[in-house]
Structure 1
Amino acid sequence: MTTPVHFDYIIIGNGLAGLQLALKLASDSYFKDKTIALIDPSEKNTNDKTWSFWETNPSQWDHLAYRSWQKAEVLTTNKNISLNLSPYSYKSIRAIDFYTEAKAQLQHHNNIHFIIEPVISVVEEKLIRVKTTNNTFTASHVFDSRLPESFSSEVKDHISIIQHFKGWVVTTENDAFDIDQVTMMDYRLKDGDQTSFIYVLPFSKTEALIEFTYFTEAVVDESIYDTYLKQYIKEYLNIDRYAIIETEMGQIPMTTYNFSKFNSGNITKIGTGGGWVKASTGYSFKHTEKKVAKIIENLKLGKRPSHGLFRRKYRFYDKVFLKVLQDENHKGEWIFKQFYDKNSVQTMFRFLDEESTFAEELKVMSSLFSWSFISAFFKTL
């Protein structure tokens, strides 16, 4: 099939946001006559990350879930908090499974084209001109998941925390993991006074993803993650013999940076490059699903695709939270202990999903009542 040079929509980046958007466009008959290109330098044929999220059943993602759990725990230095998640489930999807499924579905549509090339530039004229290493394409609208070029130089002027982590998928000879319960945060092993914790996803009694995660302003050397992972496995999981079968590392921006300023009538920033990562948690899977649905609604109503993607009050809540972490990074353990100890997990999930009532928001914020939050509140006004 010959690849055209002009498209109604070009999606730059075949990651979570780009593929979710393409799937929604492809499944809606309203867009059946629209030509769509997905441009990415990668074939997306490796398992480069794991997405975890909570949701109620049934879900369009159930068949892709590698594992799901109905129980969770948050462990602090002085309290263990057990969480019954019902009616929610905590789910995990391997990126390779999502990529494979999305590509298989999209390849059935003749109006969708995959272009495996790096994008060099995007120029907004009457038509948007997208230049790759080998070609130049035009589009009526471009959805761009790349981080803005100015982000790295401008982000220092905003409240910004990096969620950075390294994880090992390990296998053991004997049963070592509770397959019914995910460890969302374990603060018993920390790197000094920084907000850092262990995250454990048990895939079976003998296999689990174990990650050491930071919420800090600066990253650390890779060997630091290794040191804490080894210590946790030996001293807290009491495992002496294990094999590492997969490794993943990542950095997720948790920031008040205004990505929306890069949206125009003809270019919409999406995914991480559009500020779709929840600033206070780093979660993105379900937020992406909601924002994609809003874009589809806007397109069908003739509105700017980026219209109404963000709600101001939740951005303010995130800003206060990040300000506390920036000014007093050691408070992370206390914050999350208060979150899950003083509120039901269902309330917390609705709050973090930006679906809470005002009464629930008051309850959540009151559970964090302290001078640190009062100070952050007034600093961020």
Structure 2
Amino acid sequence: MTDNSHFDYIIIGNGLAGFHLALKMVSDTYFKDKQVALIDPSKKDTNDKTWSFWETAPSQWDDVVHKSWSKASVVTSKTNVELNLNPYAYKSIRAIDFYTQAKAILKQQQNIHFIQDTVTSVVEEDNVIVSTNLNVYSASHVFDSRIPKDFYERSKQCISLIQHFKGWVIKTETEVFDDEKVTMMDYRLKDGKQTTFTYVLPFSKTEALVEFTYFTENVVAETTYDHYIKNYIKEYLNIDHYNILETEMGQIPMTNFAFETYNTSKVTKIGTGGGWVKGSTGYSFKHTEKKVAQIISNLKDKKLPSKGLFKKKYKFYDKVFLKVLKDENQKGEWLFEQFYSKNSVQTMFRFLDEESTFLEEISIMTSLFSWSFIKAFFKTL
């Protein structure tokens, strides 16, 4: 907490992006004299989500990685695609572990100030004026993770779906899980003609996160997720006796909404509110890491913080995939089956990380060749 009202930087939101950015600042001597405030109404002391990602080497997150896997599978009604991820590892981090580590590091820094409050307005003047329920602050630059209000009013005017899900962490009486393999997508259990799949992260031979996920335009009642999770555990995992240790729910926008147009010379939108979630998949962890690194580089080079955060060709690819899912939502199973059965998982990971070569992108596009994809491609153009 601080009695000061002016800061060099204010970060609104202590989520994945906000903490990423603050941690990167305190690791760089360039920012040692910069006063940074983090404003959030929450203490961030609950496990509200799980982040999963892949990478090829040890990283700064290894101390908080809850579990990693060297193998994966994608299961559809037609096939079971077994994936050897080497040299990648698929990793998961529990939000509470990430929050706890981030707070411990940041609270040691004299130039970092935590303010538990709700931001009510952000106004650009000579400085940026940030009003909260309890106070008024100013900053030279603000990093704002809140989703623009316009998104909720205009999302129907762009290509938008919602990745929404509920998961149970269950504990079984006997050893039933292969704790070296994650089920990235299992499409066998469906809710009508919609893109739905089950995601299984085995943390041990007796404990796993089982999550039922939709890629659709509208959400469903909480009891609907419970019905399908329970069904999957019984019919597909063949488990009759278990305890539910934790639950988690979430909604992630999958959209081509132009979040980047809300960046200004004094306010940079970050995280979900900045369009950092990959539109076609909902993955965000590694994309956040890269965008934060770009922001830090821009600040040190006296450039606009938001410069170069997006690559146009990948935004176009995401838009095409979203168009297929929007117009023919039942095609999701086919789409991801083609992805992983006709391309190596290493190629797919590079593509989803936006690090692929042009030849790899041509190969992926060729594997998706269909009338649905052609229609979506030209509609997007």
**Shift of residue 78 of structure 1?**
1.1
Report the counterpart of residue 276 of structure 1 in structure 2. Answer: 276
**Root-mean-square deviation (CA), in Å?**
0.6
Question: TM-score, normalization: structure 1?
Answer: 0.99
Report the counterpart of residue 167 of structure 2 in structure 1. Answer: 167
Which residues of 2 match residues 86-125 of structure 1 at below 5 A? 86-125=86-125
Does the alignment pair 1:313 with 2:322?
no
Report the counterpart of residue 259 of structure 1 in structure 2. Answer: 259
Which residues of 2 match residues 168-247 of structure 1 at below 5 A? 168-247=168-247
SS at match of 1:204: coil
**Shift of residue 130 of structure 1?**
0.3
Report the counterpart of residue 147 of structure 2 in structure 1. Answer: 147
SS at match of 1:34: coil
Report the counterpart of residue 24 of structure 2 in structure 1. Answer: 24
CA distance in 1, matches of 2:125, 2:42: 27
**Shift of residue 95 of structure 1?**
0.2
CA distance in 2, matches of 1:270, 1:236: 39
SS at match of 2:203: strand
Report the counterpart of residue 301 of structure 2 in structure 1. Answer: 301
**Mean Cα deviation higher: 91-100 or 218-227:** 218-227
CA distance in 2, matches of 1:301, 1:357: 28
**Shift of residue 91 of structure 1?**
0.2
**Shift of residue 313 of structure 1?**
0.1
**Shift of residue 149 of structure 1?**
1.3
SS at match of 1:325: helix
Report the counterpart of residue 337 of structure 1 in structure 2. Answer: 337
CA distance in 1, matches of 2:179, 2:58: 21
Report the counterpart of residue 327 of structure 1 in structure 2. Answer: 327
Could you tell me which amino acid in structure 2 is paired with residue 350 of structure 1?
Answer: R
**Shift of residue 193 of structure 1?**
1.1
**Shift of residue 38 of structure 1?**
0.1
For structure 1, list consecutive stretches of 5 or more residues without a partner in the other structure: none
CA distance in 2, matches of 1:350, 1:272: 21
Could you tell me which amino acid in structure 2 is paired with residue 319 of structure 1?
Answer: K
State whether residues 2 and 113 of structure 2, in contact with CA within 8 Å, keep that contact through their aligned partners in structure 1.
no
Segments ≥4 residues shifted beyond 6 Å? none
**Shift of residue 151 of structure 1?**
1.1
CA distance in 1, matches of 2:35, 2:323: 44
CA distance in 1, matches of 2:3, 2:101: 22
Which residues of 2 match residues 46-57 of structure 1 at below 5 A? 46-57=46-57
Report the counterpart of residue 127 of structure 2 in structure 1. Answer: 127
CA distance in 1, matches of 2:30, 2:177: 47
SS at match of 2:149: coil
CA distance in 2, matches of 1:143, 1:48: 22
Report the counterpart of residue 33 of structure 1 in structure 2. Answer: 33
CA distance in 2, matches of 1:326, 1:3: 49
Report the counterpart of residue 138 of structure 2 in structure 1. Answer: 138
CA distance in 1, matches of 2:84, 2:31: 41
CA distance in 2, matches of 1:99, 1:331: 37
CA distance in 1, matches of 2:2, 2:248: 37
* Count of residue pairs brought into register by the alignment: 381
State whether residues 160 and 255 of structure 2, in contact with CA within 8 Å, keep that contact through their aligned partners in structure 1.
yes
**Shift of residue 150 of structure 1?**
1.4
Q: Deviations over 1:136-157 (max 9, x none)?
A: 0000000000000111011110
State whether residues 163 and 215 of structure 1, in contact with CA within 8 Å, keep that contact through their aligned partners in structure 2.
yes
SS at match of 1:10: strand
CA distance in 1, matches of 2:338, 2:62: 31
**Shift of residue 100 of structure 1?**
0.4
Q: Percent identity?
A: 71
State whether residues 140 and 266 of structure 1, in contact with CA within 8 Å, keep that contact through their aligned partners in structure 2.
yes
For structure 2, list consecutive stretches of 5 or more residues without a partner in the other structure: none
SS at match of 1:66: strand
State whether residues 3 and 113 of structure 1, in contact with CA within 8 Å, keep that contact through their aligned partners in structure 2.
no
Report the counterpart of residue 14 of structure 1 in structure 2. Answer: 14
CA distance in 2, matches of 1:105, 1:288: 19
CA distance in 2, matches of 1:353, 1:43: 31
CA distance in 2, matches of 1:113, 1:93: 25
**Shift of residue 3 of structure 1?**
2.8
**Shift of residue 59 of structure 1?**
1.2
Q: 1:99 to 1:207 in 2, by over 3 A?
A: same
State whether residues 172 and 206 of structure 1, in contact with CA within 8 Å, keep that contact through their aligned partners in structure 2.
yes
Q: Deviations over 1:345-378 (max 9, x none)?
A: 0000000000000000000011000111111111
Could you tell me which amino acid in structure 2 is paired with residue 364 of structure 1?
Answer: I
**Shift of residue 192 of structure 1?**
1.2
CA distance in 1, matches of 2:89, 2:161: 28
CA distance in 1, matches of 2:9, 2:15: 16
Could you tell me which amino acid in structure 1 is paired with residue 211 of structure 2?
Answer: E
State whether residues 193 and 329 of structure 1, in contact with CA within 8 Å, keep that contact through their aligned partners in structure 2.
yes
Report the counterpart of residue 72 of structure 2 in structure 1. Answer: 72
State whether residues 10 and 39 of structure 2, in contact with CA within 8 Å, keep that contact through their aligned partners in structure 1.
yes
Q: Deviations over 1:312-364 (max 9, x none)?
A: 00000000000000000000000000000000000000000000000000000
**Shift of residue 2 of structure 1?**
4.0
Q: Deviations over 1:262-294 (max 9, x none)?
A: 100000000000000000000000000000000
State whether residues 54 and 90 of structure 2, in contact with CA within 8 Å, keep that contact through their aligned partners in structure 1.
yes
Q: 1:367 to 1:2 in 2, by over 3 A?
A: closer
SS at match of 1:7: strand
